[in-house]
A and B are shown apart, each in its own frame.
Chain A
Amino acid sequence: MLLPESMSRIVIVGTKSRMEDAINAFYSEKSIHIIDHTTGDDGLSIGTTTEATSKASERLIKVRSMEKELGINKHTKTADIAVEEVQSRISAGDVEGVEDEVLKTVDARNDLTQKITELNSKKNTFELLKRLNELTLDQYSGYKSLAVLVGTTTDDASSVSIEDAEVFSSFDKKEGGVVAVFVKKENKEKAFAALADVGFTEIQVPACTEKVAANEACAKIDAEIEAANAEIEKCNQTLEELKEKYMSFLKGCDEELAIVVEKGSVPLRIAVSKYSYVIDAWVPTKKMDSVKANLERKLGDDIYVEFQETRGRKVEETEAQEPRFQNVPVKQNNGRIVCEYEYATSLVSVPKYNEIDPTFLIAIFLPLFFGFMVGDMGYAIPFIILGAYGLKKTKHKDWRAIALVLFFGGIWAFIFGLFFYGEMLGMHFVGGEWEAGTWVWHENHVAVGGTTVSWDWILGAQFPSWFTDAICSVGAWGQEDPNTFGVGVGKLEDVAFLLKLSVYIGVIHLLIGLVCALVNVTKQHGVKEAILEKGGIVFVFFGIIFLCLALTDMMFSKLELTGGTPLIELVLAIVCLVIGIVLNAKAEGGMQAIMSLPEVIGWILSYTRLAAITMSKAGMALAFNYIIFGMIMTTKATGNFQDGVEIVAFDPMGGVIMLIVGILLFCFLHLVVWTLGILSAGLHALRLQFVELMMRFYEGGGEAFAPLSEVRKKTFFSKNANNIKEV
């Protein structure tokens, strides 16, 4: 089914004393989506969390802060741990025990870091005082009537004259100056004023009673810093050991406690009275009966489950409900492979409950368009390998989505490359034709002085006919095109054909979108409304197609519009356009009806990007192949002539160095084309889904189905299949 899963609403009533068991039972069902209770005049209030929950959340904060200190994050690989072990260790107070151990070391480390900062600042001062080598450190302090001014200067302070003072100074043009002034306390201000002229900035000298020179003190501090650093190293080592010892437990605790806290906060979303609780919830309709039976089996008389409604897709049905029951959660209804593409849909929005989920269409067309645009066997193989590897290895949803498109897109690219374009690494398999018993190269082939390279020329042998017969060509499509180019559709030669094909693909793709739009409105409102709302645009769409057919017949095929097929097309176009515009004008107003005409042309022409990107890739590959095989690697004359030009053959053994350079360059340049292929083909294929297809019918904005369920990655149940206490 293209629509999201059908949902039913239930009411669950139970006794408050068994609420914890009931919540565990809800979690084990994995299909109960709670509707948040809003306080009203029904005499019920919102529940409160239990004491155990507050304790668990306190512990969770402790665990998370320890994880941060120890550098344990979501990328840290740890062994899985049994839930029972985590639970018993938590209740035995292990979290607090580990916290003590970790905090002790972390505190010690912080103290040491603090100490080093202080020592460094002291050292910086002493480094300056080293330059005043006639003074020892004890001389800077301990005076009754003297003030000591120590600081840095920007100019030389030796010329400063201060009354009744002794000045020691040192000056260096690069490093600036240091000055120590010993002056009577009453003259301190004067000394400051005099020093201000040389850009004086005071520094505080740490008090020292020992008679040591500044450089000796510096050496002592260095030793202390070194010792402190060694201590820090030890602490780090201890922390590393603690991390190794406890990381599995801590990650297990994080997960277990988060689940406990989440379960504990369920009462905040439901209604409670003095002795009971009431829950409104959505359940997938097909699981209704099993959920009811399971809950009643587990909780017996302590629970009562009542079915309320199965919500239909009609808008009136939804609008008749009270506001909090109007939004139905959406559970997308896709198979195993298609559901991998749900991520692509969610990039735009979650679908609404009563509209078609476009994931199925994306799953078909995204890889198909990607494959059509890449269309090369040589590029397809690495795509398939990379995609398969990605799907096997990665769990991250972004990478999975990319790997998925690469894998399926790669398969399509292989099919298109082999059977449709007959091409590998930008070169056709076949580069000539049998004509009257001789092999004739195409006129723009590198063998006869042209630019295109083909595999049969490189290999020096013709492919067997069963192989070449499997590859289609434009002629095989019943098109007597004068530009028909040998075996396989030429990306740069059969341009007109590829463009036409792109437009036809676009018409089909858009038509699917419009049909989905009609279905959506029919489901939501009814057939009459669907025709009134979307019928107009469908008629305009067909009208424009017939008009374009008539115009192309006139312009390309040079047919007269006054008779035959072009006339029929023109009449059909006018009829469809008139009906479409009238319907549109009725639904959306006259202006909108006229505006939709050029819009439709824009939608269709947008698909010519399929051909354009195919051509751009082929153009690059052609240029690179010509550089490598036509200009770098060697060729030899065969002595045979075709139309007066001597045929040359590929001669890999002609120059070994050139052969190696050529192969290296070949790998590098094709890697460039291949990488650009991912970007442009991938992005444009996605755009055609998002813009051209989904904007025809998709509204989105639904609320994703979020049932109560435990997400366990690091913990597992070892003894029982589940942790629900059976009643």
Chain B
Amino acid sequence: MKITAITLQNVRRFIEPVRIGGFGAGLNVLAAPNEHGKSTFFDAIHAVFFVSHRSNDKTVKALTPRVGGDPEVSVEFEAEGAGWRLEKRWSGSASRKDAKLWRDGVLVAQKSEAEEQLSGLLKPPSDGGPAGLLWVRQGVVELESGGEEQMARRDIMTSVAGEVEAMTGGRRMETALAKCAAFLGLHLTKTGKSAQGGALKACEGEVDELILRRDTLKDDVRRLQGDLDRRRQVRRELEDLEAPEAFDVRAEALEKAVAGLRAAEEYDQKVQSGEDKLGLLLARADKADSKKVALQRALAEKALAVKEATEAAENAAQGRAKHEEAQAQLDAAQTDHDKATREADAAAEVLRLSHRVERAASTESRRKDLTGRIVKAEGLTKTIKALQNDLLQGVSAHTLRQLERLATDLAVATRSRDSAASAFSVTYSGAGKVRQDGTPVTEGVRHAVTGAVSLELDGIGQLEISPPEGVDDGSVAQAGAALTKALGAADVATLAAAQASYETRKVAEAKLQEARADLKAFAPEGVEVLREELAGLPEPVEITGTVTDVATAEAAEAEARQARDAAAVALEGARTTVQTLRETMSRAEALAETAKERTTRADQPLIGYGDAEASLQALQSDVDAATVEIATAKTELEALRGVAPDLATARAADTRARSVIEAAEKQINQLREERAALGSRIAVISSAALEEELALVGERLEDAQSRLARIRFDIAVYQRLQAALRAAQDSARENYVAAVHKELVPLLRMIWPDAEPEIDADTGLITAITRRGQQEDFEGLSGGTQEQISLLVRLAFARILAQDGRPAPVVLDDAIVYTDDDRIEQMFNALTRQSEDLQIIVFSCRQRAFRRLGGTTLSISRIEKVA
């Protein structure tokens, strides 16, 4: 878009029409003193593009002249390859509000339609859109109170912020995001769950509650239907049971069963009678048969008893005869036995006397023996005592071995000493002798010199020989002393005496042993025992009577005793025989008696039967007759049984028929009770109008589920929208900040060669700038520097839009108020640089300074009438 002209009428102090024309494509400057109307044109340009002709707000009121009238603004511009003219008139009167749009001189739209077409041309919305780039103004429009300078700065910053927001969506983006958040916040917690108190939670709760209620109601209805079905079934069963036909059927069945039972019982009685009769006949026949059999048995018994009695009597007689014979033999044996006994006794007396004589002789013999032994023993005892004394005088074997050891020790000591000592020997050649202690020294013998030796040499004199020093250490003397002491103790003079004494003692010991052996032989248990035995021997007695030698007596006595024993054996045998025969006789007599008694008993059953055989035949006749009658009775009974009904079956039929009636009555009562209970329950449940409520709950559930689905869909929609907005905002911030940085840096370096801006990624605002290596916060910069940076940022944005194919005029109203003359030249250069791509319209009161800006110079001219 490029503005070519603007015309005002009835706008503030311009009651008459005024116009600025001749706008160029690049830089356009209207430099005029204050109160010249620059800001009025600025506001008019803003109003004609962005304030609806229908509006009556304070912006419009601000345009209205003090004297009244309807503000009219006309702007001519080029866009989309055509020339356009837009006219707007704002008024308190609806009929005078107007908007018209011409395209290449042709009126193409009016009023609202004109507004819509204008929107299409401008594209920007009223606030925050790219059109915001148009405006950088000095002013206090719609800002909070404060110093003018501060407000102007803030306006500049706000304007820049607005441009950034235009890139990132601006207030509308924030509003949209806030509405998304607000909507989602109503339904969801931060963690994405259903929020308490939210419609989603409420709806979910409602659905859950309705499902629960519906299921409960379904169960209740199902139960009710079950009860109704059951009641119908009960009714049907009752109808079946209580139907008169059913009663008749049951009664008829009972009647039939009763009749059947009676008939069966009658038959049963007949059968019973038949059976009784048959029983009687059987009893009679059995009785007759029993009597017959008894009689037969009695007769047989009697015959047998008589036979046995006869035999028993014969046996008894034979027994008695044998017994008497044996008794005679016993008496003879007794006589023989008495005689043999007397003879044996006599032989025994003779033998006893013979034995007494023989014992007396033996006693005397013993007495002599004992006396001799005692004498002998006493002599031996004395010998032993003497030998024992001899033993005490002699050297014992131990003492002898001790003496021999001491003698050996002495000999060893002597040989040891002598071997170490000097020695001498003598060889005689003449008669002269060498003498020691007066005795000639033996020739050819070595004589050790163990002590001082004094030898007398015949004819020569005395020879003194001294042993070497230390030869005799006393061992010989010591051994000799020990031997001497031991010999003394043994009471012997020499070892040879000791050995002789020992030999004597050994002889004595042998004698002692011999004496002791003899004593042992004569008196093994001592002399006293012998004496006591001797003292105990009986004194000699005198014996009278026939005496013979013992052997003869013993032979006689043995013979007599054998004869007596043989008689005794014979006697005992006779006795046994008698005893045996007596017992045999007694048993035979007893058997005979028993047989006699049996005969008597056998007669008892026959008493009353005169003629037993005749009676027997009569009884057989009775049996035969009864047998015939029994056969007849059995035949009749079987015939009766064949036609008689089964009583048990009849009784079962009767029982069953009665049971059926009882069961039917019982079932009827139960069904009536159940019907009543079901009726009560159904009445209670039916009164609750379950089905109606179930239908209602079902519909409500359907509605709630539908609402829930809608809420969930709306939530999904807002979540999706929120995600899209956030993603776009993040992306835009990143992209646009990079683009601004790219465009801004060349502009900044036109003023500060090494300047490097710091741009906040979130706000898109300049937060700091680095110059000459020093970073400075934006807020700490001077007012002039801040407005210069803000203007350059705006120009950078405008360049971005232009490069994006959406060029928009930049309108500056005293936008460089605080910039000094030196710096303003550089700002002019920046403006000129950017005007190559942009239409820039500058309103300024600094006429002189802005003369150097260059570009197209604009002026306000009065005209007669708005075209």
Q: Do A and B come from one complex?
A: no
Interface residues of B (CB under 8 A from A): none
